[in-house]
Amino acid sequence: MLNLPISQMKHKEKPAEGNITELIEFVLLGFADVPHLQWLLFGLFLVIYIIIVMSNGIIFLITKLDPALQTPMYYFLGNFSFLEICYVSVTLPRMLMNLCTQRRTISLVACATQMCCILVLGATECVLLTVMAYDRCMAICNPLHYLLVMNHKICIQLVVGAWISGIPIQIGQTFQIFSLSFCGSNLINHFFCDIPPILQLACGDTFVNEMLVYIVAVLIVTIPFLLILISYSKIISTVLQLPSATSRAKAFSTCSSHLIIVVLFFGSAIITYLRPKNSHSARIDKVLSLFYTIVTPMFNPIIYSLRNKDVIMALRRLLVNNALH
């Protein structure tokens, strides 16, 4: 079992660029600072991974198969559940392998690939959550024109746009980060290849790269978050004008599930990527990244299924049909 002392885990001062052999692999320290908890963490994260894949998989399945759920809201929810499975599968399997084998090395190419996938899927999640907020805004604020505006063709275009919009930007961002020289410590004090810990290992001045990270974060995280806030301000304004208390409660219940996921995901992502560099702490970064890589995918099906009668009924129908066959 790898038991690295704290002194080794702290990143050394960045050496100046020079005739130093560049790194070809990194070591993901993950949770090496708690060696006595390795198997407990392995069991915990394995259970979490199984729950995430199975629960999101069930939601994806019932939104595709159940006739009662063939509406724009559930079309987006099904895509969101599939996205969560992809998102968590980029980080958790390798983390589980590292905890199990204690072989924590990752090649530079594998690290860059992992980062690129996380960034692309994270960007997709930002846009898809914005699309889901827009969908709720249209349903509540313009119910008479809702099905006309949110027709099947528009829904497909919005989802495809969400999946591909971040690809060129995030591939470019990954390329500019990994075009830097890494010639100092190869210890990444994180459980996956995220931007802040990787930039800490780069040689020379990384100011331009850090500014580009901020710009991309503003474009992909902050702007969608502001659009979601605008959508919900319109929703709240409309709901408060509804004459019936029952109608108000139903509208708020439909939106609050989505809003909880938004706060969890965007809150942790904004703090991670937009807070000042000198306030970065490896321990805090790891805790925050757990929220947007693991907690949100785990809570998504729980929040939506437990608070949504349509989803519960569809799940019952699926179980009954399987039992009859």
Mean pLDDT for 304-325 is 77
Spatial separation of the C-alpha atoms in residues 303 and 258, rounded to whole Å: 8
Which range has highest mean pLDDT (12-21, 100-109, 123-132, 314-323)? 123-132
94: its two tokens: 């390798």
Mean pLDDT of the chain: 86
Give yes or no for residue 6 having a pLDDT over 60.
no
Check residue 30 and give its pLDDT.
87
Per CATH, is 22-324 categorized as 1.20.1070.10? yes
* Terminal C-alpha separation, the chain: 49
Mean pLDDT for 289-310 is 82
Mean pLDDT for 56-62 is 93
Check residue 325 and give its pLDDT.
63
Q: Check: CB of residue 266 under 8 Å from CB of residue 126.
A: yes
Check residue 22 and give its pLDDT.
60
Q: Which residues pair with 26 in a beta bridge?
A: 106
Check residue 105 and give its pLDDT.
92
Instruction: Kindly report the backbone phi and psi dihedral angles of residue 225, in degrees, each rounded to the nearest multiple of 5, phi listed first.
Output: -60, -40
In eight-state DSSP terms, residue 291 is I
What's the pLDDT band for 24 if we cut at 50, 70, 90?
confident
What's the pLDDT band for 13 if we cut at 50, 70, 90?
very low
Question: pTM to 2 decimals?
Answer: 0.87
Domain boundaries, the chain: 22-324
Query: In what helix (H) or strand (E) does residue 263 lie, and over which residues does it extend?
Result: helix 245-274
Check residue 118 and give its pLDDT.
96
Mean pLDDT for 142-165 is 94
Check residue 280 and give its pLDDT.
67
Check residue 88 and give its pLDDT.
95
Lowest model confidence (mean pLDDT) among 46-55, 137-146, 182-191, 228-237: 182-191
The tokens 């190869």 sit on which residue? 186
